[in-house]
Amino acid sequence: MKRRWFLASTVAMAVLTAGITTACGGEQSGDQATGEADAGSQVLTMATSADYPPYEFVETAGGTEEIVGFDVDIARHIAEELGYELEITNIDFNGLIPALQAGRADFVMAGMTPTEERQQNVDFSEIYYDAKQTIVFPAGGGISSTADLEGKTVGVQLGSIQEGLGQDLAETTPNMELAPLNRINEIVQELKSGRIDAAIIEDTVAEGFLANNSDLEAVEIPEEGPAGSAIAFPKDSELVDDFNQVLAEMESSGLMEELIVKWFGDGAE
């Protein structure tokens, strides 16, 4: 899958605002009810980790905070098609599956990859978008492959597949240390301040951060493990089939492609 680099301006704003709103900590920072409340219509609660432009991030415009992004557009469309109101709650990535298990959310959209391990605890929709992994590092750092992570401290998001990948790499890479952090913005800040040497971040998300941080560079790494994003539900949720049906309609109508171009750029496929 080939994608174009982001146009800097919109993403700059997005990254900046996501940084500000998540800087105060990882807890629920952006609960919000969305849409006009129809009397009697049912509400679906989506949990996400809004630190992941362009999938989901917090946009502050006109003094209000709103969670927006590719995942949010998809969720809104599905909720509307199925006749639900949508409510979005913002929590750390690591807390998303526990939130589903505790019944605090009806579904999760967070660029989440349907790994086998997660499938033991939650159900997933079909994959709606694919991704690759990259190593992000300070420009001029000379990292061209995973072997160059020798002796380096590498940031990853806590609970993500990048953390799993980092753990595997650390087993075979001499003196590589892993630094798991809650939010992607923290990882970027740690990189810029030199407290970590590199980070493993998904290509599309890394591109956005790179577009706004010329002091960072990235290299793609070959990865055979699971990749791509799917919607997660509590085990045996009746919503899975309905969601899959709307996803399939979005694919065939071209709406999904429209949203991909909207959020990932013209070169996206």
**Two tokens, residue 72:** 């949010």
Residue closer to ligand ARG, measured from CB, 62 or 127: 127
CB of 83 to ligand ARG, least distance (A): 27
Instruction: Please report whether residue 186 would count as binding ligand ARG according to CB under 6 A.
Output: no
* Binding of ligand ARG by 113 (CB under 6 A): yes
Q: Is 160 one of the binding residues for ligand ARG (CB under 6 A)?
A: yes
Specify the DSSP element, H or E, that contains 189: helix 184-192
Other C-beta atoms closer than 10 Å to the C-beta of 183 total: 22
Query: Contacting ligand ARG (CB under 6 A), which of 26, 111, 166, 208?
Result: 111
Please give the structure tokens belonging to residue 110. 């967070």
Q: Which residues pair with 4 in a beta bridge?
A: none
What amino acid occupies position 205? Answer: V
- 137: β partners: 217
Give the span between the Cα atoms of 139 and 148, in whole angstroms: 14
Q: Which stretch binds ligand ARG (CB under 6 A): 72-80, 108-116, 147-155, 257-265?
A: 108-116
Structure tokens at 169: 């790499």
What residue type is assigned to position 140 of the chain?
Answer: G
The least CB distance from residue 114 to ligand ARG, in Å, is 8
Binding track over 64-93 against ligand ARG, x by CB under 6 A: -----------------------------x
Per rule CB under 6 A, is residue 199 in the interface with ligand ARG?
no
CB within 8 Å of 198: residues ≥ 6 apart: 135, 136, 137, 141, 143, 149, 152, 153, 154, 155, 191
Type of residue numbered 147: A
Least separation in angstroms between CB 41 and ligand ARG:
27
Residue 125 makes contact with ligand ARG by CB under 6 A: no
Query: Which residue(s) pair with 57 in the sheet?
Result: 51, 68
Provide the minimum distance between the beta carbon of 130 and ligand ARG in the complex, in angstroms, as a whole number. 10
In the structure encoding, which two tokens stand for residue 109, read together? 């959209």
Judged by CB under 6 A, the chain residues 220 through 259 that form the site for ligand ARG are none
Say whether residue 52 binds ligand ARG (CB under 6 A). yes
Query: In the numeric block, which tokens belong to residue 112?
Result: 């989440």
Angstrom distance (rounded) from CA 199 to CA 206: 10
* 51: contact with ligand ARG by CB under 6 A: yes
Check residue 173 for interaction with ligand ARG (CB under 6 A): no
Binding site for ligand ARG (CB under 6 A): 49, 51-52, 55-56, 93, 110-113, 157, 160-161, 184, 202
